Structure 1
Amino acid sequence: MTSAGLTNVTDVSVLDGVISWKPTTNATNQIKYQNVVFVLDHSQASSSGSAKTGYIIAALVEDSEKSPEERFQLLLLATDSVPDELLRRFRIGGLPDYLRPVKGEQDVDVIVSTKSGVGLSQLFWQTVLQPLWNSVDELSSEVNVVITQDEHSVRNFAQSLASSISKSKRTVVLLSGDGGIVDLINGGPHDAQQQPLLAVLPLGTGNALFSSLHKPLWVSQDGKIQDISSIILGLRTLFKGVSANLPLFYASFPSGSRIVKFKPAANKEEEIPAEDNSAAAALHLAKEEIQVSHLYGAVVASYGFHSSLIYESDTPEYRVHGDKRFGMVAEQLLRESHPYIAQVDVRHPSLSEWETIPRNEHTYVLVTPLSNLERTFTISPASKPLDGKLRLVHFGNIGGERTMDAMMKAYDGGKHVGLKWDDGHEVRYEEVDEVRVTILEEDERWHKVCIDGTIVDIPKGGQLSVRKEDKSGFQILVDSRVLPSSS
């Protein structure tokens, strides 16, 4: 990461979406409009009581092609004058109250998930977020910074919140992907007097929750994806967001169900041969198993192709490939084109009767309150930020080629919805209140269900139940423009 620190500039101007200034700093004297994080107006700052004047323009330039150390370039430009166009859109007057710890009134935590995504969270904290925070207001020693040490760190932190008797408001800033969020909501205080406020900076692989909650900001009205970094959107929301209820669902499992996680091989004999990188070979890794009866989710519950894809790509060998690992494992699963044997029952909104899907061979069964599983993968095009509605996407045993066709259409703005074939198969898409999946498979490999990236192994004959959760217990920080009242 490179940064010029706080640099004095003059003659700031905006023309055709490009911001320029004098003199040249860090070999540049211009950035794009979409690189701006905020403009700090010292005259509005209320924390120090000082007579400061002027502005700080904070901007971030991100280049994913560069090495991790050079990926982020933070610019902090001090100036006496800023064009009104920038002030109208980006002005802040200081640190928002939810980021300002006050003993007995407001707690602030920063969770740096070191293993999320491709491992950029700690570098991002040290070289982007921490100096950016300090540019607004010196980072208080009362901010609790948690650098995760292992996969249990976030869950342990959440459990400490659940056991706390503090009546303070609490903001938890998560530098992580969806996995950190699910660990927090499953260990956290669902019945607390004060609902924790979660602020997410998307440093995972898929970042489904973040992408879906910010979709109106990166997709134009004609459906085109705009060229703006998710990280910058996250930083803007962090310093200028509003709180909203985080919609959750509740997934329950029968006795004998286990959370299954891959862990690094304990010895050379357990490692996958270098010449064999197939998904099947990955299954030979040692596994950790934890008994489980239920999980809360905010992203997705699935059985079939999606759950197998998440499970079989979550090995240390595959994770080093980032989101490319999904394509590597998908290719193997599509070649096998396994028909998943299960009974699927659905209960629709405002109805008490259950409908049984008239087939027992399935390829894809997925329930979600979100629109996107990745920024460009629109699984539920009717879903809106914060609407809390569960929607089911499912289709039968259609073979690998047609499954790939459906997935590619999901990458094309959700055009898989309504897809039909001459033999009567189709992609069904419907709003639901509850879904039950009864596993009828003999082979344990096909017993896996996915809840927000957590894999649960359900015994044969066991049933996954997914329903809306009315009482979330958590707030989420969002841009005010995505609130339902503003749509």
Structure 2
Amino acid sequence: MPSKHNVEADAASVEGNILRWTSGGDEGQVELDHIVCVVSSPNTALQAQGQGPGPGYRILFLESKEEKAQDQENAPMHLGKIDISTPLPTALTPFLTQIPTHLKSQQSANAEAEPIQVVISTRSGTGTAQTVFKDLVQPLLDGLGVNYQSHETQSAQSIISLSETQFLPQASAGVEQTIILLSGDGGLIDILDVFYRNKYDSTNGVQRMAAPNIALIPCGTGNAMASSIGLRSGPASSLKSLLKGKPVSLPVFAAKVSPGSMIVTEEGNGRASIPIAPTDSDTSDACDVSASQQVMYGAVVASWGLHAALVADSDTTAYRKFGSERFKMAAQELLYPSDGSESHRFRGQITITTRTKDPSESTDGIQQTILSEQEHMYVLATLVPRLEKEFLISPDSEALGGKMQFLRFGPMAPEDAMRLMTLAYQGGQHVREETVMYQEVVRVRIDFHEDEERWRRLCIDGKIVAVEKDGWMELCMEERELLNVIKL
């Protein structure tokens, strides 16, 4: 939808919280709160040829696509622009923005400028990524004069393939890259998995791998990572982060699983093998990932019990159309089975490893504890505070802080479990309850004592893993830092 404000203004002034402009016989106004940035006019080439209007400014701002929408704050947004050649009103000075380094094309080894990469995940969430790109991201990049290349996903393997054929080789060659990712958490995890699963050869004088900078534009269902780093107002809020944020290293965990474990696909009907660590694996010693061992990598959450089951059960076409509400719907069925039976008691042994501080020692010690409880309802380890915009599962977690928090509660009445989940939506108050175990850990191991496969399903950053009978999973933090996330 073209913006009626994509204009070249004759004059602009600020009155209170309103920017007013005139262009020919037209006039208009924009609330200052809706301004994304002000940049120097990109018409430098025209100016050099004597064809441009001279030095000026470009104002990029958000406007509702539905002028009469009752809820303007949550209405679909479009990015508009106003070009002015007159002096900039003083009140707009705080909005002046320099294009950040991560949005400038980098020189590769062949001396050609590498464009910014934009990945549009067409199947994420409710399928909004293409619209978000057209209405917000594309106008921003065009308005800033950024050189970029866009990729629309064609299948669930598209981001993996793009990472293997382009992102990883470029990073291994030391080329700086920025990837603007319009997706949910799954797109980030696909890139992460490719980077951490492949060995990087630093011999033969090859320069150090350049960690790509990933800018998140949330278009998924839960958007856990985006919500956790402050992008809780949807795609529009991520534009300011893209402009003013800085690259921060992305902490990653490794999830080792017992032989025979499989990734669940095709809405529960298919199975895919979990790749093994290469025989010359260069993974960190902290995780003890040996050659030929099945391992997955993540940056958000690993869970078993109620959380993993509801993510798995709701991962269908029928459920996905409900967005994040699908999780609550699946939880209702798990807690109140339609056949009238009681909610399942998940059976297994959990071992946690924590750091201990001995006042007489200069370094922290390590303590391993086997939980006495053998039946569970909710078991989760996470690196982020939020799993959804308002679902504060781990209030002590700092986004990108690199600390793993463990949360567990045992079998209880369905109404009590629902109350705990409701408290998580109320500022993370559930962690104050006596029935909830919540603490920082460095390692978690689960040995499963379940006969039925459906009760041995894990959730690793949205991917569902079915573990073999008498199997196990072990989590630990990775030491390698191979990816950055842009954070405001």
**TM-score (normalised: structure 2):** 0.81
Classify the secondary structure of the residue corresponding to 1:167: coil
Q: Deviation of residue 302 (structure 1)?
A: 0.6
Match of 1:119 among 117, 124, 127: 127
Match of 1:167 among 157, 161, 174: 174
The one-letter code sitting in structure 1 at the alignment partner of 2:155 is D
Matches within 5 A, 1:391-470: 391-420=405-434, 426-470=435-479
- Tell me, yes or no, if structure 1 residue 355 matches structure 2 residue 362: no
Q: Deviation of residue 405 (structure 1)?
A: 0.4
Kept in 2, the 8 Å contact 1:303–1:365? The answer is: yes
Cα pair distance change 1:49/1:374, threshold 3 Å: farther
- Tell me, yes or no, if structure 1 residue 476 matches structure 2 residue 476: no
The one-letter code sitting in structure 1 at the alignment partner of 2:411 is N
Matched residues in 1 for 2:439 and 2:47: separation? 55
Q: Deviation of residue 101 (structure 1)?
A: 4.2
Q: Deviation of residue 22 (structure 1)?
A: 3.1
Kept in 2, the 8 Å contact 1:3–1:75? The answer is: yes
Cα pair distance change 1:399/1:180, threshold 3 Å: same
1:3 equivalent in structure 2:
3
1:55 equivalent in structure 2:
57
2:400 equivalent in structure 1:
386
Matched residues in 2 for 1:444 and 1:28: separation? 65
Cα pair distance change 1:63/1:309, threshold 3 Å: farther
**TM-score (normalised: structure 1):** 0.81
Match of 2:379 among 342, 361, 365: 365
- Tell me, yes or no, if structure 1 residue 254 matches structure 2 residue 262: no
Kept in 2, the 8 Å contact 1:448–1:455? The answer is: yes
5+ residue gaps, structure 2: 201-207, 276-293, 338-342, 356-363
Matched residues in 2 for 1:402 and 1:32: separation? 46
Matched residues in 1 for 2:27 and 2:370: separation? 62
Match of 1:72 among 55, 65, 77: 77
Sequence identity (%): 30
Matched residues in 2 for 1:251 and 1:343: separation? 17
Cα pair distance change 1:288/1:37, threshold 3 Å: farther
Q: Deviation of residue 329 (structure 1)?
A: 1.1
Kept in 1, the 8 Å contact 2:102–2:178? The answer is: no
2:117 equivalent in structure 1:
109
Matched residues in 2 for 1:233 and 1:207: separation? 13
Matched residues in 1 for 2:219 and 2:105: separation? 23
1:343 equivalent in structure 2:
349
Cα pair distance change 1:86/1:455, threshold 3 Å: farther
Q: Deviation of residue 94 (structure 1)?
A: 3.7
Match of 1:287 among 270, 273, 290: 270
Matched residues in 1 for 2:142 and 2:330: separation? 42
The one-letter code sitting in structure 2 at the alignment partner of 1:178 is D
1:19 equivalent in structure 2:
18
Classify the secondary structure of the residue corresponding to 1:366: strand
Aligned length: 430
1:93 equivalent in structure 2:
98
Matched residues in 2 for 1:170 and 1:313: separation? 35
Matched residues in 2 for 1:123 and 1:54: separation? 30
1:237 equivalent in structure 2:
241
Q: Deviation of residue 81 (structure 1)?
A: 4.3
Q: Deviation of residue 13 (structure 1)?
A: 1.8
Matched residues in 2 for 1:30 and 1:448: separation? 54
2:225 equivalent in structure 1:
209
The one-letter code sitting in structure 1 at the alignment partner of 2:244 is K
Deviations 1:300-353 (A, max 9, x none): 111111111111111111112211211221111111321111111100124433
Q: Deviation of residue 291 (structure 1)?
A: 3.1
1:279 equivalent in structure 2:
none
Matched residues in 2 for 1:416 and 1:28: separation? 52
Kept in 1, the 8 Å contact 2:274–2:295? The answer is: no
Matched residues in 2 for 1:47 and 1:92: separation? 20
1:134 equivalent in structure 2:
142
Question: Which range moved further: 152-161 or 31-40?
Answer: 31-40
Kept in 1, the 8 Å contact 2:274–2:296? The answer is: no
1:269 equivalent in structure 2:
none
